[in-house]
């Protein structure tokens, strides 16, 4: 059976156009590498930028548990920073054990 114990947090970021470099600098200073429970993370810039004046990013981070994340970062979503067009959003995902699902073709 695959390890399904990890939790994932998606953080949606809404950055003011022209402030992307400031955001990326601050983001780089918050490196969680080496923190207890941290596994990995990736930052993505959305290809579909459909909101004028806003550049959207999604940070995907894998942690051993939500509690590990909350011990390292604020439990509450931090206040909007000056480079943010609006408040960031955290979305927590828990793994689903698909090993027990019947993958037989439907008739």
Number of domains in the chain: 1
Distances (CA, A) of 2 to 63, 64, 94: 16, 14, 14
Question: Distance (Å, rounded) from C-alpha 6 to C-alpha 4?
Answer: 6
What CATH number does residue 84 fall under?
Answer: 3.30.70.100
pLDDT in tens, 32-78: 888 999 999 999 999 988 899 999 999 999 999 989 998 888 777 77
The answer to whether residue 38 is domain-embedded is yes
Q: Which residues contact 67 (CB under 8 A, 6 or more apart)?
A: 37
The answer to whether residue 20 is domain-embedded is yes
Which stretches of the chain are assigned E, i.e. beta strand?
7-16, 38-45, 54-63, 84-93
Q: Give the chain's mean pLDDT.
A: 88
Confidence of residue 104 (pLDDT cuts 50, 70, 90): confident
Q: Tell me, rounded to whole angstroms, the distance of Cα 54 from its chain centroid.
A: 18
pLDDT above 70 (res 1): no
The answer to whether residue 107 is domain-embedded is no
- Which structural domain range is residue 83 located in? 7-93
């Amino acid at each position: 059976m695959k390890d399904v114990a990890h939790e994932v947090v998606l953080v949606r970021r809404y950055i003011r156009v022209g402030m992307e470099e400031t955001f990326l600098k601050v983001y780089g200073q918050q490196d969680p590498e080496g923190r207890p429970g941290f596994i990995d993370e990736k930052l993505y810039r959305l290809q579909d930028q459909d909101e004028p004046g806003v550049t959207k990013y999604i940070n995907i981070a894998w942690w051993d548990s939500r509690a590990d994340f909350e011990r390292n970062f604020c439990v509450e979503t931090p206040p909007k920073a000056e480079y943010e067009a609006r408040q960031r959003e955290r979305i927590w995902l828990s793994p689903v054990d698909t090993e027990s699902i019947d993958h037989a073709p439907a008739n």
